[in-house]
Structure 1
Amino acid sequence: MPEQHVVRLGTRRSALATTQSGWVAERLRELGLQVELVEITTQGDVSAAPLTMIGGTGVFASAIREALLDGRVDCAVHSLKDLPSAPEPGLVIAAVPRREDPRDALCARDGLTLGELPAGAVVGTGSPRRAAQIAALGLGVELVPIRGNVDTRLQHVRDGRCDAVVLAMAGLSRLGLRDVVTEALDPVQVLPAAGQGALALECREDHPLREVFARVEDAETRACVEAERGLLARLEAGCTAPVGALAEVVESEDGLELSLRAFVGSADGSDGLRRSLTGSWTDPRDLGHRLADLLLEDGAAELAGVGSGLGSPGGVGQTAHQSTDHPA
C-alpha cells in the first residue's frame, strides 16, 4: 500500500450524503486507511429551483468533481443515480460498493398504501420518472412537484400539504427512517432510477490509492448499474425524461445472467413502454445498449416528445442521468 496519509473523502453536505459517505469511510478505515470527510456545496444544494430549470445534469456532482481534479479531495462519494453516464476525463469510478434496496418507497398519512389512497389524494415527488409511472397506474391521484432534503419532503405529509410522498428506500434506510415507509413500491409498477440505491467512489485516474479504493467494490452491484447506465447512455436520456431501469443478477441453466427491465413513458403518464432482456453479466453495458435499441425501435423517442436525446431539449449528445430523483 502507498505511504499512509489522511484520505480526504469529498461529500455533499446533506444528512443523507454525509451518512452514506460516512458508511464508505468506515469501509475504507477497515482497509487500514485514515479518512476524513470534506463537505462540498454543490449547485443542486444552493438553488431552490426545480432541477429541470437549473440544468439537471451533474448539478450534484460537478463541484465535487472539480475538487477531485484540483486535488482538494482524494476521492468522493456520489449517489450513482446523480452521476452523468458519460465518463469524466481524468476521473474513474474506482468502486461501486454493495447496493442498498433500489426500490421507491411511499410515505403516506395514516399508513396508507398507494392503492388505498383515495381519488384526488395529493402525492408529492420531484421525479418525472416516478410521476409518469404512478400516473400510468390510473389511480386518480394528483401528483405535485416537491424539492428539498428527505426531512423537508416528509414534512409535506406531516403538515397535510401532501397525502403521501415518494422517496428512495435506500436513502430512508441509510437514515434509519424505514419506519415512515407505508409501502415499498413493486418495480413491476414503478421501476427505480438507473443506479438508485448504489454509491460510486470516484477518484483521479492516477491516484496512488486507486487500487485500495477498488477493494470496496461489489461485483454484482457494478454489473447491475453498468447495465442500467448503459441503457441511459444509449437513450441519451436527459434529466426530465421519465426513464426507469433495474438490473438483477439471476441464475440460469448456463450460470449467472443479468435481467434488465426498463420503462420509458410520456410525462403525463398517458402512455409508456416496458421492455426487458437478459444477457451475460460479464458484458452489462452491451445488455443496456441492446435494451435501449429495442425501446427506440418501439417508439421511445417519439413517446418522450423529443429527438433521440430523450427529455433533453438539446437532443443528441445530452448526457444521460437521473438527478431529478435526488435526494432520496
Structure 2
Amino acid sequence: MPQTVRVGTRASVLALTQTGHVADALTALGAGDHELVRVRTDGDRLTGSLATLGGTGVFVTALRDALLDGRCDVAVHSFKDLPTTPAPGLVVAAVPVRQDPRDALCAREGWTLATLPEGASVGTGSPRRAAQLLAARPDLRVVDIRGNVDTRLRRIEDDLDAVVLAAAGLARLDRLDAVTEALPPDVMTPAPAQGALAVEVRAEDAVAGTPLAAALAALDHRPTHLAVLAERALLNRLEAGCAAPVGAHARLGDDGVLTLSAVVLRTDGTASLHRSDALTLDGSATDDAARTALAAAGLGTRLAETLLADGAADLADLAAGGRA
C-alpha cells in the first residue's frame, strides 16, 4: 500500500483551502491517502508590510525547511510567493490549472474603478496594485493594509471605500460575491504567477516511478506552467523585489503562441512602461518539456532586457528589493 502523503501548508483559511484541493487531486490521481501538515511561517507570525518583513519569501522558508527535514513530502505555495531563485534539493513538480489571474476591486455601493468617488480610500498591501491604482485614478487615497481575506473585506465596512484582492483567492474561498469589478490586465497587470499554485517536493521524489511522481506529472498543467515560467523569468532578470511595482501576464494560445505582457511603474503611478513579446512554440519543442521550459523562460528574460533597455530601472529601483 502507498504511504500517506504528508502535504505541508500554511494555516490560513486560503492556504488550507487551496492545499486541500491539491491534496485531494493527488489522492484522486493515485498518490495515496494524504494528511495536511500545518506549518507556521514568518509571514503568518510577524506584522508589517511585505517589504519591511523581507519580501514574499517570509511565507515560504518554513515550508521549505519542513520539506527538507522530512516533516512533509509535498508543499503547496501560492506561486507568486516563491522566490525566483530555486531552493537546493527542491523542485516545483506540478503547477495545476491557473485560476483567474486578475485583480479584483471590492467596493462599497457596487462601485467600479471608474465610478469610485473622487478621493476614495482603497486598501492594498501591494506596491504594484497601488501604483496601477494611482496611474488610473491619481485622486485615490491608497491605504496600506495586511491580513487575511476576511480581515481585508471587513475594512470596507469599517474605514475604507474599497480594497483590491486577487480574484483567484476570492474564487477559492467562494467570495466572488464581494467583487464589484474584475480589473482587466491592461488596467491592472497581475503579479507574476498570480492565480497559480506551485507544488514543491524534494528532487528525488519527483523522479518517475513512484505513485506520487506519477500523480504530480498528471496534475501539472503545461500551459499554466509555461506561462508562469515566462513571468517569473522576467521578474528574475529585473531583480524585482516585492516592493517593486512590476506586473506580468503570459498566456499560451491554442495556436502555440506564448504571449507575455509586462509593466514597470513608478511607485506613485506617475509614469509607466508597458511592453510585450511573443514566442511560437513549434511542435518539436512542445514535445520536449525541458526545451519548451527553457524557451518560455527565455521569452521572459528577453522582455525584461527590453524593459531595461527602455528605461525600466529609471522608474523603479529594481534591485533594491532583492530577487523576489
Q: Which residues in structure 2 correspond to 1:80-95 (within 5 Å)?
A: 80-95=79-94
Q: Which residues in structure 2 correspond to 1:192-207 (within 5 Å)?
A: 192-207=190-205
Of 208, 222, 225 in structure 2, the residue corresponding to residue 222 of structure 1 is: 225
Q: Equivalents in 1 of 2:182, 2:56: separation in Å? A: 27
Of 10, 14, 24 in structure 2, the residue corresponding to residue 12 of structure 1 is: 10
Instruction: Tell me by how many angstroms 1:319 deviates.
Output: 1.8
Q: Equivalents in 1 of 2:215, 2:180: separation in Å? A: 40
Aligned to 2:19: 21
Instruction: Tell me by how many angstroms 1:138 deviates.
Output: 3.1
Counterpart secondary structure, 1:286 = helix
Q: Which has the higher helix share?
A: 2
Residue 218 of structure 2 aligns with an amino acid whose one-letter code is R
Aligned to 2:263: 263
2:206 pairs with 1:212: no
Instruction: Tell me by how many angstroms 1:50 deviates.
Output: 1.3
Unpaired stretches in structure 1, ≥5 consecutive residues: 313-317, 321-328
Aligned to 2:313: 301
Residue 51 of structure 1 aligns with an amino acid whose one-letter code is L
Counterpart secondary structure, 2:204 = coil
Q: 1:57 to 1:105 in 2, by over 3 A?
A: closer
Instruction: Tell me by how many angstroms 1:263 deviates.
Output: 0.6
Aligned to 1:164: 162
Instruction: Tell me by how many angstroms 1:260 deviates.
Output: 0.4
Instruction: Tell me by how many angstroms 1:271 deviates.
Output: 0.8
Aligned to 1:238: 241
2:52 pairs with 1:53: yes
Instruction: Tell me by how many angstroms 1:26 deviates.
Output: 1.2
Higher alpha-carbon deviation: 275-284 or 81-90: 275-284
The Cα offsets for residues 273-320 of structure 1, whole Å up to 9 and x where unpaired, read as 01001113432101100100000001111211x3x51x42xxxxx322
Q: Equivalents in 2 of 1:107, 1:29: separation in Å? A: 35
Q: Equivalents in 2 of 1:24, 1:212: separation in Å? A: 11
The Cα offsets for residues 45-93 of structure 1, whole Å up to 9 and x where unpaired, read as 0111111111114100000000000000001100000001111100000
Q: Equivalents in 1 of 2:57, 2:43: separation in Å? A: 9
Aligned to 1:315: none
Counterpart secondary structure, 1:184 = strand
Instruction: Tell me by how many angstroms 1:144 deviates.
Output: 0.7
Aligned to 2:323: 319
Instruction: Tell me by how many angstroms 1:211 deviates.
Output: 4.0
Q: Which residues in structure 2 correspond to 1:184-199 (within 5 Å)?
A: 184-199=182-197
Instruction: Tell me by how many angstroms 1:249 deviates.
Output: 1.5
Instruction: Tell me by how many angstroms 1:214 deviates.
Output: 2.4
Instruction: Tell me by how many angstroms 1:139 deviates.
Output: 4.6
- Contact kept, 8 Å, 1:120 with 1:141, in 2: the verdict is yes
Residue 270 of structure 2 aligns with an amino acid whose one-letter code is S
Q: CA RMSD in A?
A: 1.2
The Cα offsets for residues 139-173 of structure 1, whole Å up to 9 and x where unpaired, read as 511101000000000010022x1100000000000
Q: Equivalents in 2 of 1:303, 1:113: separation in Å? A: 28
The Cα offsets for residues 204-237 of structure 1, whole Å up to 9 and x where unpaired, read as 0012533432220001000100000010011111
TM-score normalised to structure 1 length:
0.91
Identity of aligned residues (%): 55
2:311 pairs with 1:286: no
Higher alpha-carbon deviation: 64-73 or 42-51: 42-51
Counterpart secondary structure, 1:115 = coil
Counterpart secondary structure, 2:80 = helix
Counterpart secondary structure, 2:277 = strand
Q: Equivalents in 1 of 2:239, 2:50: separation in Å? A: 18
Q: Equivalents in 2 of 1:189, 1:49: separation in Å? A: 27
- Contact kept, 8 Å, 1:194 with 1:232, in 2: the verdict is yes
Residue 279 of structure 1 aligns with an amino acid whose one-letter code is L
Q: Equivalents in 2 of 1:210, 1:76: separation in Å? A: 14
- Contact kept, 8 Å, 1:203 with 1:210, in 2: the verdict is no
- Contact kept, 8 Å, 1:57 with 1:319, in 2: the verdict is no
Count residues in correspondence.
306
- Contact kept, 8 Å, 2:138 with 2:269, in 1: the verdict is no
Counterpart secondary structure, 2:199 = strand
Q: Equivalents in 2 of 1:8, 1:96: separation in Å? A: 18
- Contact kept, 8 Å, 1:249 with 1:257, in 2: the verdict is yes
The Cα offsets for residues 164-197 of structure 1, whole Å up to 9 and x where unpaired, read as 0000000000000001100000101000000000
Residue 138 of structure 1 aligns with an amino acid whose one-letter code is R
Q: Equivalents in 1 of 2:296, 2:54: separation in Å? A: 29
- Contact kept, 8 Å, 1:115 with 1:139, in 2: the verdict is no
Q: Equivalents in 1 of 2:275, 2:20: separation in Å? A: 37
